Structure 1
Amino acid sequence: MNEYKVVGGVRTSDRELLSPLFLTGGSGYLGRNLIRHFVASGVEVIALVRSQKSADVVRALGARPIVGPLSGPAVAEAMKGCRSMVHAAAHTSHGPETPEHVAVNVEGTRAIFGAARQAGVRRAVHVSTESVLLDGWALVNVDENRAMPARFPGAYSRTKAEAERVVQALNGDGFEVLIVRPRFVWGRDDTTALPILTAAARSGQMAWIDGGEYLTSATHVANACHGIELALLKGLAGEAYFITDGETPTFRSLVSRLLETQGIAPPEKAVPSWLVRTIARVGEAAAWLSGGRIKPPVTRQDLATMAVEVTLDITKAKRDLGYAPVISVEEGMAELKRLASSKGDQQR
């Protein structure tokens, strides 16, 4: 009998079923970490990127780059022989709607999943978001049975919800589609949320909405990668899964700890939500009237994400996938602090 190493509850023999794996968004924050995760597990990764610079990034991480758009002819050719796919590319702007929201999140998703099905890919994960459930009000310990709202707070939520409907319609006939919904992905190598938070704190423009004392779910990037792998291996076709750290700190405490890992004191200022919501409505109206020339300082999409409680129940992922976080919030914060300290030492 063969002996196989078990890592994170997954045998190396199981991972062989994923290779080669086709990945979109390979040079992005989550994409880079997915490449590291799968390559370290012995999975061959083919990563779709948009530029030669991005190709150099994913090649250095151990993936084979393919340069082109989501709907380009190179995609279908590169997918031939791939057993699995992870679609992590997305237009993540929380600003007013632009053509890219639909082009990338909806039509790009339609094209990439259509190509995967045609190429004979067997299992595919669409990386979605809890934002598909946002309506501007609190989400308290919700699970995957929660219906999408009739009205969304912004283009990001609306187009990511439409993308989920697109991929679910393609599930079947030997093509198994899974949806994974992390929230507030954070941790090492963060080029998305952490730089924005640190810049706002350093500029003195950050303030806590209603004090920030509402609970939040979040997902360390290592937990996101682990959950995506488990979904590919064990998920039920057509189903969606929340993946989080399994902890619910307050939004203020989570962001404060992130800032402190970078040597930044968190702000003390607080503003009432009614005032920020008024600013968002006025700013979005000005953006519309100016044809996008005026950029609102904050949007309703921003507020739906960070101004109310958003907590998620991961019971389904635990039951179906055997999911458990591989890194705690405490461990993730300690890692960020070590990396920031090491970077500081190198710059001296």
Structure 2
Amino acid sequence: MKILVTGASGFIGGRFARYALERGFDVRVTARRGEALEPLALRGAQCMAADLADADGVRALCSDVDTVVHCAGAVGFWGRRQDFLQANVQLTENVVEACLKQKVRRLVYLSSPSVYFDGRSRLGVREDQVPRRFANTYAQTKYLAEQKVFGAQEFGLEVIALRPRMVTGAGDRSIFPRLLRLQEKRRLAIVGNGLNRVDFTSMANLNQALLRSVQVGDEALGQVYNISNGQPVPIWDAINYVMRQMQLPQVRRYRSFGLTYGMAMLNEAACLVWPGRPEPTLSRLGVQVLNKDFTLDIARARHYLGYEPQVSLWAALDEFCAWWKAGHMYQAR
């Protein structure tokens, strides 16, 4: 079986490509910057630098491929709406069209549980509990991209989408690196009482879910699946675990949600008028994430994908900390 992984220069795409290679799959990888794929080329991947905005180029990528694992896209909350539409919707349309024209058998789409988040505490969220309004453009465009993927079923393409929650492990450049930088400047504080529980996903567990999505039978097709470790933890326990591992002071200061949310509003307003509109270091979304309960129901993935988390959050955090201490050179080894 030949697998094409898009977004392979990123954390999730790169880690899954490596995982598939280690299990003997024929893997083709793509990213805009070809040099970012060199570590995977050394491991035996076929590397093709490409811009997914080029429909003809995407069709070439999908030539002689059995399955596409589509991990590329824009992540975050800050930026122009048209950029998110381009990166998450238009590029996915190009991938879907290429899969159909090149007779690719299956498309696995990496979506996001951000589609559920509405700023309130939510526990055990099921796949069908999508709010009427989305919290931001990122969430909206990920959901729109899902609809493009599932719309291809009627033309014979086998499709699956995954919504993994707060993925971490070696190579994570999003969640804990930002928190570490804030704590190094002593700018991190517990928002609220610090007892809110959230889900994380070990990258090792997500690899299992992605591979199951590639291999699973017809009964699992045409659905979206929540993915997590299935064991919610207080978010500040996880954050302070990383701080201890990195020999940084524990986060012990408390700030009220209302005060912190107000500060985030002012920070965002300042960034909107600042030249270049830089991303705010403190945002309303970030404050909500650090203050609200947010967990997923993964029963559907367990039943249809045979997904069963094997690697604990603490093992994933140990992996991340070892990688970070080593100078972020995990992928180059």
**What is the alpha-carbon distance in structure 2 between the residues aligned to residue 281 and residue 342 of structure 1?**
36
Give the alignment of 1:75-90 within 5 angstroms. Answer: 75-90=58-73
Q: Which of the numbers 262, 277, 280 marks the counterpart of 1:296?
A: 280
Q: Which of the numbers 149, 159, 167 marks the counterpart of 1:185?
A: 167
**What is the alpha-carbon distance in structure 1 between the residues aligned to residue 74 and residue 287 of structure 2?**
18
8 Å CA contact 1:129–1:160 kept in 2: the answer is: yes
Q: Which of the numbers 229, 248, 263 marks the counterpart of 2:232?
A: 248
8 Å CA contact 2:189–2:253 kept in 1: the answer is: yes
**What is the alpha-carbon distance in structure 2 between the residues aligned to residue 241 and residue 197 of structure 1?**
28
8 Å CA contact 2:170–2:321 kept in 1: the answer is: no
Q: Which moved more, 1:262-271 or 1:201-210?
A: 262-271
Return the letter of the residue paired with 2:72: A
Give the alignment of 1:70-109 within 5 angstroms. Answer: 70-72=52-54, 73-109=56-92
TM norm structure 2: 0.90
Q: Tell me the number of residue pairs that the alignment of Structure 1 and Structure 2 aligns.
A: 325
CA 1:286–1:334: 2 relative to 1, 3 Å: closer
Match of 2:24 in 1: 42
Deviation by residue 1:113-134 (Cα, 9 ceiling, x = unmatched): 2211221111111101110111
Return the letter of the residue paired with 1:201: Q
**What is the alpha-carbon distance in structure 1 between the residues aligned to residue 227 and residue 74 of structure 2?**
20
Q: Which of the numbers 221, 237, 262 marks the counterpart of 1:278?
A: 262
Q: Which moved more, 1:276-285 or 1:110-119?
A: 276-285
Residue 207 (structure 1) aligned with residue 189 (structure 2): yes
Deviation by residue 1:311-343 (Cα, 9 ceiling, x = unmatched): 111111111111111212233334445556666
8 Å CA contact 1:218–1:245 kept in 2: the answer is: yes
CA 1:57–1:122: 2 relative to 1, 3 Å: same
Deviation by residue 1:289-310 (Cα, 9 ceiling, x = unmatched): 5685364332333234333111
Give the alignment of 1:85-234 within 5 angstroms. Answer: 85-146=68-129, 148-234=130-216
Q: Which moved more, 1:133-142 or 1:66-75?
A: 66-75
Return the letter of the residue paired with 1:85: V
Question: SS state of the match for residue 85, structure 1?
Answer: strand
**What is the alpha-carbon distance in structure 2 between the residues aligned to residue 186 and residue 292 of structure 1?**
30
State percent identity of aligned pairs: 25
CA 1:20–1:315: 2 relative to 1, 3 Å: same
Shift of 1:192: 2.3
8 Å CA contact 2:106–2:214 kept in 1: the answer is: yes
**What is the alpha-carbon distance in structure 1 between the residues aligned to residue 104 and residue 224 of structure 2?**
19
8 Å CA contact 2:58–2:94 kept in 1: the answer is: no
CA 1:282–1:97: 2 relative to 1, 3 Å: farther
Question: SS state of the match for residue 124, structure 2?
Answer: strand
Match of 2:314 in 1: 330
CA 1:104–1:336: 2 relative to 1, 3 Å: closer
**What is the alpha-carbon distance in structure 2 between the residues aligned to residue 67 and residue 30 of structure 1?**
17
**What is the alpha-carbon distance in structure 2 between the residues aligned to residue 328 and residue 271 of structure 1?**
30
CA 1:135–1:86: 2 relative to 1, 3 Å: same
Structure 2: unaligned runs, 5 residues or longer: 329-333
8 Å CA contact 1:141–1:313 kept in 2: the answer is: yes
**What is the alpha-carbon distance in structure 1 between the residues aligned to residue 168 and residue 140 of structure 2?**
23
**What is the alpha-carbon distance in structure 2 between the residues aligned to residue 78 and residue 293 of structure 1?**
35
Question: SS state of the match for residue 300, structure 2?
Answer: helix
Match of 2:248 in 1: 264
Residue 22 (structure 1) aligned with residue 33 (structure 2): no
Deviation by residue 1:232-270 (Cα, 9 ceiling, x = unmatched): 222622201111111111010112112323222321112
Return the letter of the residue paired with 2:143: A
RMSD: 2.2
**What is the alpha-carbon distance in structure 2 between the residues aligned to residue 96 and residue 151 of structure 1?**
19
**What is the alpha-carbon distance in structure 2 between the residues aligned to residue 181 and residue 103 of structure 1?**
20
**What is the alpha-carbon distance in structure 1 between the residues aligned to residue 188 and residue 42 of structure 2?**
36
8 Å CA contact 1:281–1:300 kept in 2: the answer is: yes
CA 1:117–1:128: 2 relative to 1, 3 Å: same
8 Å CA contact 2:171–2:323 kept in 1: the answer is: no
CA 1:48–1:139: 2 relative to 1, 3 Å: same
TM norm structure 1: 0.86
CA 1:91–1:125: 2 relative to 1, 3 Å: same
8 Å CA contact 1:286–1:294 kept in 2: the answer is: no
Structure 1: unaligned runs, 5 residues or longer: 1-18
Shift of 1:47: 0.9
